[in-house]
Structure 1
Amino acid sequence: MNSNLSDQLGRSLILVGCGNMGYALLQGWVDSRLIDPRQVHVVEPLSSLRERAASLGVITHDTVTTLPPDADLVVIALKPQIIEQELPKYRRYSNSAAFVSIAAGITCERLTRLLSSTRVARAMPNTPTSIGKGSTIIFSDRAGELFPTEWVVALFNAGGAVHLVAQEEFIDAATAISGSGPAYVFYLIECLADAALKLGLPSTMARDLATETVHGSAALALASKDAPEELRRQVTSPSGTTEAGLSVLAGDDGLSSLILRTTRAAFDRSLELASQRPGS
């Protein structure tokens, strides 16, 4: 293995929850050889998800009681609705470990209360992390003081771009954009493929063209020095086919308005989760 986070961790890394996002993170860490899977303990009650995690060479547990007594880092990948009941079980690590949570809407203040620790951080990754193409926003109000930010940055760098932010509010905005964004893009691909079918293209070609077009366009936007609006203008010939299509998307109640309403709904839900009382 190359120089990696396993060299810095004297004890274990614990991943609490291994659903789709937790597994995406785990897969990115193992595939990048950032960590030794033998140092990773995954807590997951569902046997099918434990088996999936175990296939990566990590140690799996169905309960917190069988975990090692000490850890350096605990990554919390639980649904927000079960945070209140599950997190107090991990207070046993408050003296040895730092905690980072990817649960939407769960504030650092709430994490501190539930874990009896001030060594907490929040992160908002997305599922492309599993193939090294993700985006992650990280916040800790103890960064550079008590919280080992370099460990968390190293972990999420394995999955793609990392953005450290100085305000916790940015996490909620990131949830609406990059956190939920892959679902919006996948739905766009679905819609493009469905439109291609209705225009007479075969199903396989329709799906491939839709996926390739979104992938290629995103790759060009990342590689180009031009802003997206300039790239759009370059594709749009006056009185051409693209202009005809864009005239529909850019209407008064078109794509811009729809995307704003979509992201606002996700943002508001993140704030709602943050203010939700225990048990509600």
Structure 2
Amino acid sequence: MSSSPKSPLPDSVSLAFIGGGNMARSLIGALIRGGMAASRIRVAEPFEVARQQLAADFGVSVFADGVDAVDGADIVLLAIKPQIMRAVCTSLAPTLAERRPLMISIAAGLRIEQIDQWLGGGFPIVRCMPNTPSLIGAGATGMIANPAVDAAARALAESILGATGLAVWIDREELIDTVTGVSGSAPAYFFLMIEALEDAGVDQGLPRETARALAIQTCLGAARMASEDAEPPSRLRERVTSPNGTTAAALNALAEGGFREIVAKAVAAAKARGGEMSRELG
């Protein structure tokens, strides 16, 4: 199948979104900016105001009912809350039964096996865990596919999910819960770090606006250096840590406070909660 020079997907592929929330909007916007025609995208969104806004912002076709949106679609992206996934999949199953399009789920905690069962079985399904920086094109997404997803479908999924940032394949589905802890929930860790740096700066005499601006820019700069430099983060840290200097003093304080152990505990807690959600919603 041929592709237009800019589009990440073949020209013949049609895509249906179930749910038109923030993550769906970020993916739709990225795909259209990448060259995909709005006419190839259909969105099911139950709230009328949100439907009208999607049509106005992107020129996509919008529907109140998911059954209408998925009819004839090659790829269906499930961008809904995990709590309603079972009911939505059950309602879509009869329409999807014959065509069995590629299904992509961004719902936290729900296993591929559960989604496939609710759809009626035998579907190619990609489960993924994006994060909120996807909204600005700087996301990180982990993906896992079931055996029904062939190489061509994997490439399609990677093109869609990679439109908003980094997208990587995970070997085992249980590791998606680890992805949740490392990247899915992790933007909140960095927001907390910015808050803490801001408050510490204020405690030491800086105006709050100044402390906040410095903290945000420093986190941004450090992330860019880690992304663009070939050296591992440990080496970058060593470069800016002079013996007996200010950075060494600060890092020693973090070590004494159990910084690494706290981060490990946070990632483990997020991972554990992902597994619990799967069991609760199953």
Query: Quick one: which amino acid aligns to residue 50 of structure 1?
Result: R
Does residue 15 (structure 1) correspond to residue 17 (structure 2)? The answer is yes
Indicate which of 265, 272, 276 corresponds to 1:272. 276
Distance 1:113 1:246 in 2: 50
Whether the aligned pair in 2 keeps the contact of 1:129 and 1:159 (CA below 8 Å) is: yes
Distance 2:71 2:174 in 1: 34
**What is the percentage of aligned positions where both structures have the same residue?**
32
Whether the aligned pair in 1 keeps the contact of 2:19 and 2:79 (CA below 8 Å) is: yes
Indicate which of 108, 112, 127 corresponds to 2:132. 127
Query: Quick one: which amino acid aligns to residue 163 of structure 1?
Result: V
The more displaced of 142-151 and 112-121 is: 142-151
Q: Which runs of 5 or more residues in structure 1 are unaligned?
A: none
By how many angstroms is 1:6 displaced?
A: 5.0
| Paired residues for 1:180-191 under 5 Å | 180-191=185-196
Question: Equivalent residue for 2:265?
Answer: 261
- CA deviation profile, 1:220-273 (whole Å, cap 9, x unmatched): 01111222112111111222211221122112x422121112111110111011
Whether the aligned pair in 2 keeps the contact of 1:235 and 1:242 (CA below 8 Å) is: yes
Distance 1:221 1:5 in 2: 27
Whether the aligned pair in 1 keeps the contact of 2:116 and 2:125 (CA below 8 Å) is: yes
Residues 105 and 149 of structure 1: CA distance in aligned 2, closer, same or farther (over 3 Å): same
> Partner of 1:162: helix, strand, or coil?
strand
Whether the aligned pair in 2 keeps the contact of 1:80 and 1:106 (CA below 8 Å) is: yes
> Partner of 1:190: helix, strand, or coil?
helix
By how many angstroms is 1:190 displaced?
A: 2.0
Distance 1:277 1:127 in 2: 23
Question: Equivalent residue for 1:36?
Answer: 37
Indicate which of 102, 108, 118 corresponds to 2:106. 102
Residues 185 and 84 of structure 1: CA distance in aligned 2, closer, same or farther (over 3 Å): same
| Paired residues for 1:131-146 under 5 Å | 131-142=136-147, 145=150
Distance 1:51 1:194 in 2: 41
Question: Equivalent residue for 2:50?
Answer: 49
Query: Quick one: which amino acid aligns to residue 204 of structure 2?
Result: L
Query: Quick one: which amino acid aligns to residue 42 of structure 2?
Result: H
By how many angstroms is 1:68 displaced?
A: 5.8
Residues 144 and 277 of structure 1: CA distance in aligned 2, closer, same or farther (over 3 Å): closer
Indicate which of 67, 87, 98 corresponds to 2:89. 87
By how many angstroms is 1:130 displaced?
A: 2.9
Whether the aligned pair in 1 keeps the contact of 2:125 and 2:148 (CA below 8 Å) is: no
> Partner of 1:161: helix, strand, or coil?
strand
Whether the aligned pair in 2 keeps the contact of 1:6 and 1:39 (CA below 8 Å) is: no
Whether the aligned pair in 2 keeps the contact of 1:75 and 1:99 (CA below 8 Å) is: yes
By how many angstroms is 1:182 displaced?
A: 1.3
Whether the aligned pair in 1 keeps the contact of 2:43 and 2:63 (CA below 8 Å) is: yes
Distance 1:273 1:111 in 2: 14
Whether the aligned pair in 1 keeps the contact of 2:110 and 2:281 (CA below 8 Å) is: no
Query: Quick one: which amino acid aligns to residue 12 of structure 2?
Result: L
> Partner of 1:78: helix, strand, or coil?
coil
The more displaced of 135-144 and 104-113 is: 135-144
